[in-house]
Structure 1
Amino acid sequence: MKTIAIVATGGTIAGTGKQGKTVAYRAGEMNVDEIIQSIPMIQDIANIKEYQLMNIDSNEMNPQRWIELSRIINEIVQDEHIDGVVVTHGTDTLDETAYFLTLTIHSAKPVVMTGAMRPATATSADGPYNLYQAVCLATHEEAHHQGVMGLFSNTIYSGRDIQKVNNYKIDAFDQKAFGCLGYMQDHEVYFFSKTFKTHTLNSLFSKSSYHDLPSVGIVYFYAGASCQLLYDMAKNHHGIILTGSGSGNYSEEWLSAINDLSSQGIIFVRCSRVAQGIVFDDDIFDPHHYCISGNTLTPQKARVLLMLALTQTTKREEIRKIFNEY
């Protein structure tokens, strides 16, 4: 039987509240061993090693904790007796952590992230079943070389593209128009596609160790938004993610400010506030090509990639190549 490490970080899956209720709970209250005890059939699937790394609401996740989590997983996967890793995590920022791990884990072993939309004390809590299936997925031979994955509600997602699309239903995740990697039925795994973007072993960023990350902010454009937002953000950040309207668009006032700040060395990435779509280079909204296109990345994931890219280079054209590859 294979051995799977479960690295717990907290979240709703470890949350507790009024018995039976799904609201008004506190995340990160239970230890991982308590959750595992509620899933007796998990012992028939794998030998489990538990790592209670932290126990927090995922809104308390930050770059320093990403670095710590990545470092621990990279240490765990070096153990020849460990066949895969499952990470329990709150759903609110799981997409950001998943992408950071996708870029920084240096292993072909399965790494699966999961969590819950209902606390452990709710009637029909979804966490135990998600965790059970995540362990099953981590033991599967076809899960190797797939990069970091997310597992929710019988569905397998790539760590690059997973995103939370609903804050109410237990089937709360999707990955835009590209489709998921596959599905599960109880313990059975069915892969139908794979991600072709660079990840894990082949990632430039998985070959480095980190103590901190360059500061990158996100600015949201809306009708009438002042360009002062950009100037204020630039005071304390090396790069700025533009969450534009439509295809990553903004006003002429913003364009003028972007041109000015770009000449001062600020790196800009254009993304969109629209849930579906792609942001390409644009000769109208970015005539001098000062901005880097975020492609299919959400603003928060573009921030993750830009922070890591800035650890390697500050040259705009080199960062543009990184965004096209990852």
Structure 2
Amino acid sequence: MRKKANIVVIGTGGTIAGRGETASNTSAYACSVLTIDRILAAIPEVSSLANLRAEQLMQTGSENFNNEHLLKIGKRVSEVLKDNDVDGVIVTHGTDTIEETAYFLHLTLKSVKPVVVVGSMRPPSAMSSDASLNLYDAIAVAIAPASRGKGTLVVANNEIHTARDVMKTNSFKLEAFRSPYGALGYVAEGEPRYYRMPSRDHTVLTEWSIDRIEILPKVDIVYAYGALGEEVIGTVASEANGLIYAGTGNGNVAEHIVGPLVAATRQGLHVVRASRTGNGVVIRNGTQPDDDYGWIVVDDQAPQKARILLMLAMLSNPDKRCALQAAFYRY
């Protein structure tokens, strides 16, 4: 019989810690009211999977998370992973920005131990809640030897996703989380089954360590739309170090926005062209002469993921745009 793994479950709030007035409240409920101890106590089956230690790091919906929250979570997870008696870490998290936190951990943690970020679309009090099963599956993934070395994972709806790719694609349905290239695998009857590997560098292969990061550069996102005014670019440029421009289609930029973006770039703002579609590749020097303008393209990153990567890349190469572009092709 295999010795039970030691897993630390870190609670941060979210729907998985929520409670509705009635069982029919699947979308209207109080968020972040249950402690991680109460959540685990409601799933007695998890005690057979691993030796669990719970801690409440914070208690709020992930829509409130800023860079300070990312750093707080990352530093605590890193500290826990250094304990030789700990085999893996689970972070319970609100689903609104779970993909951002998970990707930040994916790029900054220096460990091959499994780290799984998990949430739920319905609170534990709701009919057909996914909270208990998602957490049970997350523990099953965290204890699996096959999960080592795959970076940070997100478990939802019986699927295992790499933090790099996964995105929330629906506001209320259980099958809200999707990866453009598909899940890494599934959890069937409590057993993880992997079918593909993350292909881009992560964790121990990146140039960033959460232990050495104290502050993150300010990067904003501007979404293109038909009536977007050029004054928005000036406002962002006056406050931010970087800008993800989520253009239409293949990162297209309207004619009246090109000038302000070029001017902001010459003043030192790092401009990254992305697509508001959230899927597909933005081609360098495709719809815009990026080389001439000094712009960067995301490759296939969604705007919210590109923001995380640009913040980190600017820590290493604050002024070298060629190095920033290389980061989008490497990670």
Q: Under a length normalisation based on structure 2, what TM-score does the superposition of the two structures give?
A: 0.96
Letter in 2 for 1:184: V
Structure 1 unpaired stretches of 5+: none
CA contact (8 A) 1:255 1:286 kept: no
Structure 2 Cα separation of the partners of residues 324 and 230 of structure 1:
26
Answering whether residue 84 of structure 2 is matched by residue 62 of structure 1, we say: no
**CA RMSD, 1 decimal:** 1.2
Match of 2:260 in 1: 257
Structure 2 unpaired stretches of 5+: none
Letter in 2 for 1:312: S
Structure 2 Cα separation of the partners of residues 226 and 134 of structure 1:
44
Work out which of the residue numbers 309, 317, 327 in structure 2 matches 1:322.
327
In structure 2, the CA distance between the partners of 1:82 and 1:208, relative to structure 1 (3 Å rule), is closer
Structure 1 Cα separation of the partners of residues 139 and 177 of structure 2:
19
CA contact (8 A) 1:22 1:122 kept: yes
CA contact (8 A) 1:28 1:55 kept: yes
Alignment of 1:119-198 (within 5 A): 119-176=123-180, 178-198=181-201
Answering whether residue 73 of structure 2 is matched by residue 73 of structure 1, we say: no
Match of 2:273 in 1: 270
Structure 1 Cα separation of the partners of residues 294 and 287 of structure 2:
12
Alignment of 1:230-241 (within 5 A): 230-241=233-244
Report the 3-state secondary structure (helix = DSSP H, G, I; strand = E; otherwise coil) of the residue aligned with 1:309: helix
- Superposed displacement of residue 284, structure 1: 4.0
For 1:99-138, what per-residue CA distance to the aligned partner results, in whole angstroms no more than 9, with x for missing partners?
1111111100000111111112112221111000100100
Report the 3-state secondary structure (helix = DSSP H, G, I; strand = E; otherwise coil) of the residue aligned with 2:116: strand
Structure 1 Cα separation of the partners of residues 121 and 286 of structure 2:
42
Structure 1 Cα separation of the partners of residues 221 and 192 of structure 2:
37
Structure 2 Cα separation of the partners of residues 48 and 148 of structure 1:
19
CA contact (8 A) 1:240 1:268 kept: yes
CA contact (8 A) 1:281 1:289 kept: no
Alignment of 1:1-326 (within 5 A): 1-20=4-23, 21-176=25-180, 178-206=181-209, 208-287=211-290, 288-314=292-318, 315-326=320-331
- Superposed displacement of residue 185, structure 1: 0.5
Letter in 2 for 1:320: Q
CA contact (8 A) 2:222 2:246 kept: yes
Report the 3-state secondary structure (helix = DSSP H, G, I; strand = E; otherwise coil) of the residue aligned with 1:99: helix
Letter in 2 for 1:26: A
- Superposed displacement of residue 164, structure 1: 0.3
Report the 3-state secondary structure (helix = DSSP H, G, I; strand = E; otherwise coil) of the residue aligned with 2:117: strand
Identity %: 36
- Superposed displacement of residue 317, structure 1: 1.1
More divergent stretch after superposition (260-269 vs 202-211): 202-211
Structure 2 Cα separation of the partners of residues 208 and 85 of structure 1:
17
How many residue pairs get matched? Answer: 325
Report the 3-state secondary structure (helix = DSSP H, G, I; strand = E; otherwise coil) of the residue aligned with 2:8: strand
Q: Under a length normalisation based on structure 1, what TM-score does the superposition of the two structures give?
A: 0.97
